């Protein structure tokens, strides 16, 4: 750029001064824009905006400016050239070539801009691909392998179009999207994340069910036309255990098929408790046989072997791995956004509220009013938090110590509540087992059986409300109070299932009564019979014979079955008997009775709803091993819950007054799910590795040694492999593998942490650089103005 020289100032007119100023400014602006070029497409968008700005503000005489704009614009000609509906590229090229430049009309510019923004992202790649494909096509047509590749391509194209048609059909069915449209329209996106989560769980359950179907149900069903007893895995020293197993199984089968009066009432009891005829079905672990079948096909002489025990164990293992992978994959997409929450300085709280505040999905009038109230409340709440924070910083020491004392007391109260709940659950389970073999009437027995599940449901419903009330006393900030209540409620819910399991374990494996009439030879001097501790009842009674525990895995499975049913019933009952009447009463009586108006309508409280669903899923995972049919049941149950909750949402509840951020909610759900999943895996792993299975039922009946645990099936299988693979697998068990692997994982974690820290630093530096460059630009413009003004004065002199 050439600034006017001192000698020339007298000859310069005002308009040319203005022109050169504008030129300088445009060049400066252009250079600053170039520096922000991250991608070429973004550059084009910026140019588009800049063009608009310049074109609107500059006079038509400013040919230089216009020419500069066109020159940069022509670099994107090939983008425009493919816009079918917009400007004709030929005319544009012609415009460039002639010096008689006319600015394109505003309409055309808008179209071009639209084209740029739309096409740049999608069509550009497509076009490049098409060009390459075109070139390849021409080359191929010249080659000799023309026909082969053509057929392959056509075949692949056919498959692709078939997939497209299938996906189209699926969307046509419009099933899920219609549901979501309703929910989002009325309650916004944050609530619909709950329903998305539920749908994802339905898919997960279906996958597990499918795995089970292939590897457990179908092989077991194909065994049914074989004899009662079984061919056994070829183990050494198993003859002795085989005999025992036969005796135990016989005794168990006799118990199951004990004849009794065939009342409908008793059938209902059986279904409710999972005993009797239901126990002898695929629902429970006990039904599955320890079969290794050799199928002799007529047309092939190969023996098809299927080791049921191994298959069972591996299927459960693989389904857990699959679930784990799916959860981790889902959470990794949302965790990136949650991480931003932790770094409070970088989280744009206010910008997020202003620009991401309005939910564009809303299409109901009621909800839009509510949404505005929510946004308003959120702003008020944030401002109040700011005030509170200032107040908190100004707290005197005396106030602080009082507050800490209060918090300590409340934490102790919470702990006491938790311990109390756990002890209650333990007591009821104890009571259940004690009364297992007592002489009770049928109805009482049913009540006793369901007692642990009912107690757990009641505790799960009441205690979180108490936690919520307590958190208000603690005077935490709003978000922290919500979080801590949720953490406590999660702890309660997960641990109640865990406590049930542990108390069952304690009772079934440690404290039993000495059996008098064990069908196996009385080798053991312990209270164990066929691997069970409650083999016998004291009173020999036809009725009570049915109540002995001759297969502890099925017994545990029955408890989970009852938990599942109780969960199902309690959620349905709560909606039907509490929420609907509340709504009706509120609707009719709210104007007359002040209390009812104050209480308001039932709220669809997201965190507690999520806990409900996660609890159902937790029960499913825990019981999956003992109840192979439980994934199918849970699939149906979660599917049903989707529609039940939707009904509750749309007709009964009112929108929550606090805004739940959609992204945070989803990652929160995933975290809770992951935590419960990990705990369950640990428990199950311990059980598989440490407990002796029953000899009378299940796929692990035949012990291969004295200290047989379920995992030994895998060990035995590995032992039967040839030497080299065996050695390789054995290597993975030794410390020589674990220690280096552990060290390598630690090192990689440390590496990624260091890289993240480096990126953060770079971000800070770049921010500073941006700021200083903007300051530089302003400084330079000010200098230019100054110099020009000086030139003007000199001119006037």
Residues between 657 and 696 with contacts to other proteins, criterion CB under 8 A: 661-664
Exposed e or buried b for every residue in 657-667, given b needs 16+ CB within 10 A? eebbbbbbbbb
C-beta neighbour count of 463 within 10 angstroms: 20
Q: Tell me the C-alpha distance between 188 and 659, whole Å.
A: 10
Considering only residues 603 to 662 of the shown chain, the ones binding other proteins according to CB under 8 A are: 661-662
Instruction: Report whether 3 contacts 787 (CB < 8 A).
Output: yes
Indicate the residue among 76 and 548 with the shorter CB distance to other proteins.
Answer: 76
Indicate the residue among 387 and 511 with the shorter CB distance to other proteins.
Answer: 387
Indicate the residue among 356 and 740 with the shorter CB distance to other proteins.
Answer: 356
Smallest gap, in angstroms, from Cβ of residue 171 to other proteins?
6
Smallest gap, in angstroms, from Cβ of residue 602 to other proteins?
15
Indicate the residue among 132 and 408 with the shorter CB distance to other proteins.
Answer: 132
Considering only residues 100 to 159 of the shown chain, the ones binding other proteins according to CB under 8 A are: 106-107, 110-111, 114, 117-119, 121-123, 126
The count of chain residues that interact with other proteins, using the rule CB under 8 A, is 79
Instruction: Report whether 192 contacts 183 (CB < 8 A).
Output: yes
Considering only residues 542 to 581 of the shown chain, the ones binding other proteins according to CB under 8 A are: none
Instruction: Write the CB contacts of 14 (distance below 8 Å, at least 6 apart in sequence).
Output: none
Structure tokens at 295: 């199928």
End-to-end CA distance of the chain: 25
C-beta neighbour count of 79 within 10 angstroms: 20
Exposed e or buried b for every residue in 215-226, given b needs 16+ CB within 10 A? bbbebbeeeeee
Which of 46-54, 133-141, 607-615, 640-648 is the region at the interface with other proteins (rule: CB under 8 A)?
Answer: 46-54
Indicate the residue among 240 and 384 with the shorter CB distance to other proteins.
Answer: 384
Smallest gap, in angstroms, from Cβ of residue 3 to other proteins?
25
Which residue has tokens 């098929």?
Answer: 257
x-or-dash pattern for other proteins, window 55-84, by CB under 8 A? -----------------------------x
Smallest gap, in angstroms, from Cβ of residue 383 to other proteins?
6
Indicate the residue among 115 and 248 with the shorter CB distance to other proteins.
Answer: 115
Smallest gap, in angstroms, from Cβ of residue 427 to other proteins?
46
Indicate the residue among 107 and 259 with the shorter CB distance to other proteins.
Answer: 107
Exposed e or buried b for every residue in 502-516, given b needs 16+ CB within 10 A? bbbbebbbeebeebe
Smallest gap, in angstroms, from Cβ of residue 359 to other proteins?
5
Smallest gap, in angstroms, from Cβ of residue 752 to other proteins?
21
Q: CA 761 from chain center: how many Å? A: 31
Indicate the residue among 16 and 117 with the shorter CB distance to other proteins.
Answer: 117
Smallest gap, in angstroms, from Cβ of residue 357 to other proteins?
5
Indicate the residue among 339 and 718 with the shorter CB distance to other proteins.
Answer: 339
Considering only residues 251 to 290 of the shown chain, the ones binding other proteins according to CB under 8 A are: none
Q: Tell me the C-alpha distance between 180 and 196, whole Å.
A: 8
Considering only residues 730 to 749 of the shown chain, the ones binding other proteins according to CB under 8 A are: none
In the chain, what's the furthest Cα-to-Cα distance?
127
Structure tokens at 689: 């590795």
CA atoms within 13 A on the CB side of 301: 0
DSSP string, 9-59: GGG--HHHHHHHHHHHHHHHHHHHHHHT-SSHHHHHHHHHHHHHHHHHHS-
Q: Tell me the C-alpha distance between 65 and 27, whole Å.
A: 10
Indicate the residue among 588 and 730 with the shorter CB distance to other proteins.
Answer: 588
Indicate the residue among 355 and 594 with the shorter CB distance to other proteins.
Answer: 355
Helix, strand counts (H, E) of the chain:
28, 2
Smallest gap, in angstroms, from Cβ of residue 163 to other proteins?
12
Smallest gap, in angstroms, from Cβ of residue 56 to other proteins?
9
Considering only residues 320 to 339 of the shown chain, the ones binding other proteins according to CB under 8 A are: 337
Considering only residues 14 to 43 of the shown chain, the ones binding other proteins according to CB under 8 A are: 36, 41-42
Q: Which of 55, 71, 69 is nearest to 106 (CA)?
A: 55
Considering only residues 451 to 470 of the shown chain, the ones binding other proteins according to CB under 8 A are: none
Smallest gap, in angstroms, from Cβ of residue 320 to other proteins?
31
Q: Which helix (H) or strand (E) holds 522?
A: none
Considering only residues 191 to 250 of the shown chain, the ones binding other proteins according to CB under 8 A are: none
Smallest gap, in angstroms, from Cβ of residue 330 to other proteins?
15
Q: Which of 220, 285, 311, 238 is nearest to 708 (CA)?
A: 238
Considering only residues 777 to 796 of the shown chain, the ones binding other proteins according to CB under 8 A are: 777-778
* DSSP 8-state symbol, 307: E
Asked whether the CA dihedral 620, 621, 627, 628 is positive or negative, the reply is positive
Indicate the residue among 605 and 654 with the shorter CB distance to other proteins.
Answer: 654
Rounded to 5°, angle at Cα 489 from 632 and 493: 35
Backbone angles phi, psi at 158, to 5 degrees: -60, -40
Smallest gap, in angstroms, from Cβ of residue 84 to other proteins?
5
Indicate the residue among 29 and 403 with the shorter CB distance to other proteins.
Answer: 29
Considering only residues 757 to 776 of the shown chain, the ones binding other proteins according to CB under 8 A are: 767, 770-771, 773-775
x-or-dash pattern for other proteins, window 159-198, by CB under 8 A? -----x--xx--xx----x--xx--xx---x---------
x-or-dash pattern for other proteins, window 696-735, by CB under 8 A? ----------------------------------------
Smallest gap, in angstroms, from Cβ of residue 754 to other proteins?
23
Question: Which long-range CB contacts under 8 A does 265-269 form with residues at least 24 apart?
Answer: 265/442, 266/442, 269/442, 269/446
x-or-dash pattern for other proteins, window 489-528, by CB under 8 A? ----------------------------------------
* DSSP 8-state symbol, 294: E
Smallest gap, in angstroms, from Cβ of residue 504 to other proteins?
43
Considering only residues 342 to 401 of the shown chain, the ones binding other proteins according to CB under 8 A are: 346-352, 354-369, 372-373, 375-376, 379-380, 383
């Amino acid at each position: 750029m050439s600034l006017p020289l001192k000698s020339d100032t007298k000859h310069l007119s005002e308009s040319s001064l203005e022109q050169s100023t504008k030129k300088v400014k445009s060049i400066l602006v252009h250079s600053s824009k170039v520096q922000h070029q991250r991608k070429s497409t973004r550059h084009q968008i910026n140019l588009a905006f800049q063009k608009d700005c310049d074109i609107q503000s500059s006079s038509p005489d400013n040919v230089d400016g216009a020419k500069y704009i066109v020159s940069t614009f022509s670099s994107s000609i090939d983008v425009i050239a493919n816009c079918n509906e917009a400007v004709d590229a030929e005319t544009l090229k012609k415009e460039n070539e002639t010096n008689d430049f006319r600015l394109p009309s505003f309409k055309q510019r808008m179209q071009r801009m639209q084209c740029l923004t739309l096409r740049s992202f999608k069509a550009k790649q497509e076009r490049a691909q098409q060009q390459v494909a075109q070139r390849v096509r021409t080359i191929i047509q010249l080659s000799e392998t023309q026909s082969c590749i053509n057929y392959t391509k056509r075949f692949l194209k056919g498959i692709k179009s078939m997939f497209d048609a299938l996906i189209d059909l699926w969307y046509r069915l419009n099933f899920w999207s219609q549901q979501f449209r309703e929910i989002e329209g009325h309650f916004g996106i944050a609530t619909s994340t709950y329903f998305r989560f539920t749908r994802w769980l339905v898919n997960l359950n279906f996958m597990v069910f499918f795995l089970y179907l292939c590897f457990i149900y179908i092989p077991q069903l194909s065994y049914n036309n074989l004899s009662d007893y079984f061919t056994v895995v070829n183990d050494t020293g198993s003859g002795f255990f085989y005999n025992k197993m036969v005796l135990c199984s016989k005794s168990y089968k006799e118990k199951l098929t004990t004849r009794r009066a065939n009342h409908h009432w008793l059938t209902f009891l059986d279904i409710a408790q999972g005993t009797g005829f239901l126990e002898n079905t695929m629902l429970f672990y006990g039904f599955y046989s320890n079969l290794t079948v050799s199928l002799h096909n007529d047309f092939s002489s190969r023996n098809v072997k299927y080791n049921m025990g191994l298959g069972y164990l591996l299927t459960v293992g693989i389904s857990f791995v699959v679930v784990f992978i799916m959860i981790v994959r889902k959470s990794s997409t949302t965790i990136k956004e949650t991480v931003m929450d932790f770094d409070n300085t970088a989280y744009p709280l206010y910008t997020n509220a202003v620009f991401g505040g309005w939910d564009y999905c809303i299409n109901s009038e009621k909800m839009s009013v509510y949404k505005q109230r929510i946004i308003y409340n959120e702003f008020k709440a944030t401002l109040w938090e700011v005030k509170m924070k200032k107040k908190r910083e100004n707290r005197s020491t005396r106030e602080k110590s009082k507050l800490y004392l209060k918090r300590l007391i409340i934490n102790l109260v919470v702990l006491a509540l938790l311990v109390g709940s756990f002890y209650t659950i333990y007591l009821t389970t104890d009571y259940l087992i004690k009364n297992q073999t007592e002489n009770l009437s049928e109805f009482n027995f049913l009540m006793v059986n369901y007692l642990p599940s009912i107690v757990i449901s009641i505790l799960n419903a009441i205690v979180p409300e108490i936690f919520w009330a307590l958190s208000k006393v603690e005077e935490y900030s709003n978000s922290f109070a919500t979080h801590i209540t949720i953490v406590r409620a999660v702890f309660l819910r997960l641990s109640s299932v865990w406590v049930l399991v542990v108390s069952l374990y304690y009772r079934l494996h440690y404290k039993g009564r000495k059996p008098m009439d064990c069908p196996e030879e009385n080798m053991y001097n312990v209270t164990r019979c066929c691997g069970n501790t409650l083999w016998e009842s004291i009173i020999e009674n036809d009725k009570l014979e049915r109540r002995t525990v001759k297969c502890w895995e099925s017994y545990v499975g029955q408890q989970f079955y009852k938990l599942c049913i109780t969960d199902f019933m309690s959620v349905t009952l709560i909606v039907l008997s509490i929420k609907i009447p509340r709504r009706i009463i509120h609707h009719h009586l709210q104007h007359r009775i002040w209390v009812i108006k104050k209480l308001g309508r039932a709220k669809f409280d997201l965190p507690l709803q999520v806990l409900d669903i996660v609890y159902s899923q937790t029960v499913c995972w825990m019981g999956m091993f003992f109840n192979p049919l439980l994934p199918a049941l849970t699939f149906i149950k979660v599917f049903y819950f989707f529609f039940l909750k939707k009904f509750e949402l749309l007709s009964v509840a009112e929108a929550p007054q606090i805004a739940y951020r959609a992204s945070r909610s989803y990652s929160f759900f995933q975290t809770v799910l992951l935590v419960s999943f990990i705990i369950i895996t640990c428990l199950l792993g311990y059980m598989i590795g440490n407990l002796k299975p029953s000899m009378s039922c299940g796929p692990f009946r035949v012990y291969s040694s004295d200290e047989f645990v379920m995992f030994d099936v895998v060990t035995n299988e590995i032992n039967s492999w040839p030497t080299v693979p065996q050695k390789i697998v054995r290597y993975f068990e030794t410390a020589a593998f674990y220690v280096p692997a552990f060290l390598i994982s630690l090192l990689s974690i440390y590496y990624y942490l260091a890289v993240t820290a480096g990126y953060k630093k770079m971000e800070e530096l770049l921010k500073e650089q941006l700021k200083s460059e903007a300051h530089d630009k302003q400084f330079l413009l000010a200098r230019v103005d100054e110099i020009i003004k000086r030139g003007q004065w000199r001119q006037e002199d």
